[in-house]
Structure 1
Amino acid sequence: MKRLWAMVQARLLEVVRDRSALAWNLLFAPLLVVGMAVVFSGAPPPLFKVGVLGDAPDTPQTHPFFATEGTRFHREASLDEAMVKLQRQRIDLLLDPSSQPLRYWINTDSEKGRLLQSLLRNSDADAEAQPVSGASIRYSDWLVPGLLGLNIMFSSLFAIGHVIVRYRKSGYLKRLNGTPLRAVEFISAQMIACLLLIVGIAAGMYAATDLFLHLRMEGSYLNLLLVAVLGSMSMIAMSLLVSARISSEELSGGLLNLLSWPMVVLSGVFFSLDGAPAVVQAAAQAFPLTHMLEAARAVMLDGAGLADIAQSLAALAAMTAVFLAIGAGFFRWSQD
């Protein structure tokens, strides 16, 4: 434990002494969050989203309403999940085409939903309405978890991956190998130090952002903290896949970007994946950032408890264990 704590202290002091990098981490993300929130807090683009229970029709001949222009129809897996989306105005209308007459659910607080209802009734006067209510979520409330998760992802990947490669290239790891320090102690110390820094900075950024934007928070802060910790651990462990053996900083930077940017695009940082092709949604589930953002937004926006986010937490824990096992197994101290 003494060796482990000594390495944790050494890594923390190294970060604190690098004032320019520390200032960048502290200031960049909050400015990005506020800027994006201001730019995108206006009205959403005029695109209708309609959820369909069962299989979404492949052709508009199934019902005249499915030929409505400017409307995206996608399949909803269950009524309960679809109702939450409708209440939060993530979809504008919900249809059950298997019922006779056609049954639909509409959020009475949604202007777009009421407009779609009028179009539906023009094509099918017998359609039965099932009204629900619920206020829409500001884009800033949706965006902030994504941007904080994005900052955690980049900090986690590069704080461990790039640094360990630099240590190996400079011969620092080779000198450590001559001490009683074991590889598992070194890796654990790096993870603990980075976890303390990353989660601490993320918590500070959340508090500062909440001060200005008054973020929606329906669930428990402890649950949100648990999501942040497990998400950070999984992405720190992912960086070990790159840093375990590589000694080239240029190659490590390229590989870390190769890992990070697909997550930026596919993990729902800036937009929801509702209605995206099934193959895209399936690919997104392979990334820890996806599970972290799904759990964080469920806690913040829907008041989800531990049981509700248990699947995402389990996925993050499993990814952490797998990445750590692979990274530790391939870890080497020197370039030789």
Structure 2
Amino acid sequence: MKAYWQLTLAQLRIFARNRQVLFFTLLFPIILMLALGSFLGNSGGTSISIAVIDHDESSASKALLSNFQKNEAIQLDQSNSVDEALDELKTDDYQVVMEIPKGYGKHLQTHAEKSKALDLPVYYNETNASASQLGLTVVTSAVDQVSKNIEDYSPVVAVQPKGVRALDIGYIDFLVPGIVAMMIMNNNMNGVAGQISAWRERGILRRMQGTRLKASTFIAAQITARVLLNGLQAILVLVVASLLFNVQVNGSWLALLTFVVLGTLAFMAIGFIIAGLAKNPESAGPIAAFASFPMLFLGGVFFSINSMPEYLQPFVHVLPISHLSTALRETMNVGTPFLGLWPHWLTLVAWLAVAFTIASRTFKWE
């Protein structure tokens, strides 16, 4: 146990004394987040443009429109032609187009005699899912309020859209979990591969092997030091994001840190594989870069996985960073509980088990 703590503290001292390591592991992700967040952080469809065609023109339809006008994030336009509004919808001038049918006001007055809610046609652009779904959420909320305002509430007006659900978040909310996933991958896969290869070439590993030090103790100390480093960095990134961009962790901090640990272990195991395959430190870097660079763009770090071509989807959903970034994003943005994210932590555990098995066979002391 004494050797374990000594190796852990020694590894942390190595990180602290190397200014380049401190910069790239602690400051670089924050600088990247600040750069992207400053330019793109406020994007994400916070202004919703809605076109309404009011065929009824009753006091009830005007009351519905006033519900939309109370929302400062909504830009409401009234149109006389459905076809013209749909043409503008196709060019992204509007996120949603809604029709208020003739007889809307009369239906509200006689709703007690009717068993079926009145459907309001609502159109949205399927090629712009994020903005469209946000618009649908706003429309549904306003329409539902009409029913709630009626005594003895029962649904008398309903929106029946077709499409997928999208989150009401800005790009900075999407970006921060991806930055955390990126730094976990780089710190462990790239860092372990380079460090272990360098120690092997300098004979440090051979000298360790000649002592009573067990390989399990050496690996455990490496894991502990890097888990502490990644946990510190993740907390630092999240604190900066909260202070500057008001990014919040809506889910459990324990679940968030659990995924940080799982990601650290999985990518460390991959790093040990690369260190075992590389003949020297000069080759370890390119091999690690060859593995990590595609994952930056295919793993959901900067771009949504769902927006990628369909032929890439099966490959993307196997990558460990795609599950790590999605799990962190679901925990932070949506507040999904840990058990609800079982496909992601189960996949990371599978990567850890397989990579550790391969690493144990490829690892060389000298």
Alignment TM class, shorter chain as reference: 0.7 to 0.9
What amino acid is aligned across from residue 160 of structure 1 in structure 2?
Answer: V
Other-structure match for 1:2: 2
| 1:262 is aligned to 2:302 | no
| 1:90 is aligned to 2:130 | yes
1:210 to partner: Cα distance = 1.2
- For 1:135 and 1:321, the matched residues in 2 are separated by 33
Match for residue 137 of structure 2 among 96, 102, 107:
107
The Cα offsets for residues 190-232 of structure 1, whole Å up to 9 and x where unpaired, read as 1221121122122122112211111033211111111111112
What amino acid is aligned across from residue 107 of structure 1 in structure 2?
Answer: T
| Structure 2 unmatched ranges of 5 or more | 46-85, 93-125, 141-157
The alignment-based identity, stated in percent, is 29
The Cα offsets for residues 237-295 of structure 1, whole Å up to 9 and x where unpaired, read as 11111012433112111110011011101011111122433331211122111111111
Other-structure match for 2:73: none
Other-structure match for 2:305: 273
Match for residue 288 of structure 1 among 303, 309, 320:
320
CA contact (8 A) 1:231 1:316 kept: yes
1:13 to partner: Cα distance = 1.5
- For 2:244 and 2:139, the matched residues in 1 are separated by 26
Report the CA distance shift for 1:159/1:276 in structure 2 as closer, same or farther (over 3 A): closer
- For 1:10 and 1:271, the matched residues in 2 are separated by 38
1:313 to partner: Cα distance = 0.7
- For 2:226 and 2:27, the matched residues in 1 are separated by 18
What amino acid is aligned across from residue 31 of structure 1 in structure 2?
Answer: I
The Cα offsets for residues 137-165 of structure 1, whole Å up to 9 and x where unpaired, read as 11110111111211221111122110000
Match for residue 179 of structure 1 among 198, 211, 218:
211
- For 1:9 and 1:303, the matched residues in 2 are separated by 35
Other-structure match for 2:67: none
Other-structure match for 1:306: 338
Q: CA RMSD in A?
A: 2.9
Report the CA distance shift for 1:275/1:19 in structure 2 as closer, same or farther (over 3 A): closer
Question: Secondary structure of the equivalent of 1:307?
Answer: helix
Considering only CA atoms, is the larger Rg found in Structure 1 or Structure 2? 2
1:35 to partner: Cα distance = 1.1
Question: Secondary structure of the equivalent of 2:136?
Answer: strand
Question: Secondary structure of the equivalent of 2:306?
Answer: coil
| 1:145 is aligned to 2:177 | yes
What amino acid is aligned across from residue 9 of structure 2 in structure 1?
Answer: Q
Name the stretch that deviates more: 276-285 or 250-259. Answer: 276-285
1:298 to partner: Cα distance = 0.8
Report the CA distance shift for 1:22/1:40 in structure 2 as closer, same or farther (over 3 A): same
- For 1:213 and 1:42, the matched residues in 2 are separated by 9
What amino acid is aligned across from residue 16 of structure 2 in structure 1?
Answer: V
Match for residue 244 of structure 2 among 212, 216, 231:
212
- For 2:19 and 2:279, the matched residues in 1 are separated by 25
Map residues 10-21 of structure 1 onto 2, 5 A cutoff. 10-21=10-21
Question: Secondary structure of the equivalent of 1:179?
Answer: coil
- For 2:303 and 2:342, the matched residues in 1 are separated by 23
Map residues 1-336 of structure 1 onto 2, 5 A cutoff. 1-43=1-43, 90=130, 92=132, 106-108=136-138, 129-130=159-160, 136-334=168-366
